[in-house]
Amino acid sequence: MLRLRSSVEAARASHLGAALRDLDGVRRIVSQPDDGDPAGVVFVADVEPAAADEVIDAIAGLGIALEDYVLERIDVVAPLRRPIAGGGDLGGFAWVEVIGQARANSRPLARYLALINVAAVIAALGVIKSSSILIVGAMAVSPDLLPICATCVGIVARRRPLAVRAFVTLVLGLALVVLTAAVLTALLKGVGLLSSDFTIHSSSLTTLAQTDYSTVLIALAAGVAAILSFETRASAAVGVAISVTTIPASAYLGVAIGGGGTDSSLGTLVVLMVNVGLLILAGSLTLVVQRWAAAASGAASAAGADWDQGAGAGSRSS
């Protein structure tokens, strides 16, 4: 369930109240004077996720500024009614919320760069020591799921600046993994902690540079899981599965550059590019299918309601 809070001028209060009352999926509308602005009115209403886009459109149509309202998610302990047609459960999918998360995760913030750098160090050591445990640890730390999903949202929403910004953030993060792994490997060789004859071929994780049918299937499945987790805020748990297609290959490429054995670099780069492309493809298609299914469900339910009303009117007239 979502909660709308908005402060508007008294002249617009009646229009906003009428607009909210006309929307299916908006309930428990409360208005009261704004103590901070004697000429203002504060509205509070419960909004089901499927109605969120219509609420935002109605608010924008009234010319209400972005800073004058907020739409936030709240936990519902005991829903007492069924959600609106095509809306799923009361804690379900809200496109406007997904767009907001995508915007927030489309920029290379300091925390994102710090976490991706930590993941690079762990993954590089995992490749050097042929340790699968360290590779899994690096995947758990990596935040690359977020810009991947933001890119998909930008593509499906046809918001080119959002898609480009998120994709650049993703590429920047993976490039940082490669650079950090290369520098770390070169430093370890330089100070003698790695033998001078160490190359990437010394690692047993050579499958990271190979592409086959499993690479394609894993990336496609991971793309679907990425979007579903992004929508349900389960990205912390699913991020490990997503990063299996990006972080290990990036770190392997960096170790190959910094430690020698660059003949494997091309294969690793191909694996990385294929994985990223398939992740974005699968994630975008998942969003398209979800939006289509929600629209089709809503249209079917609306048609059923019209049929019921017509049948009821016919029975009364007879």
Longest Cα separation, the chain: 95
- Token digits of residue 197: 């004859």
Residues in contact with 31: Cβ distance below 8 Å, sequence separation at least 6, in sequence order: 13, 17, 41, 42, 43, 44
Res 240: pLDDT = 57
List pLDDT tens digits, range 230-247.
776 655 555 556 677 788
- pTM (predicted TM-score): 0.73
Instruction: Give yes or no for a contact between 52 and 31, defined as CB atoms under 8 angstroms apart.
Output: no
The single-letter code of the amino acid at 12 is: R
| Euclidean distance between CA atoms 151 and 82, whole angstroms | 33
Question: For residue 144, is pLDDT > 60?
Answer: yes
Question: For residue 124, is pLDDT > 90?
Answer: yes
Res 316: pLDDT = 46
Banded model confidence at residue 315, pLDDT cuts 50, 70, 90: very low
List pLDDT tens digits, range 260-311.
777 767 778 888 898 899 999 999 999 999 878 766 765 554 455 454 555 4
List pLDDT tens digits, range 152-204.
999 998 999 999 999 999 999 999 999 999 999 999 988 888 887 888 877 77
List pLDDT tens digits, range 190-200.
888 888 788 88
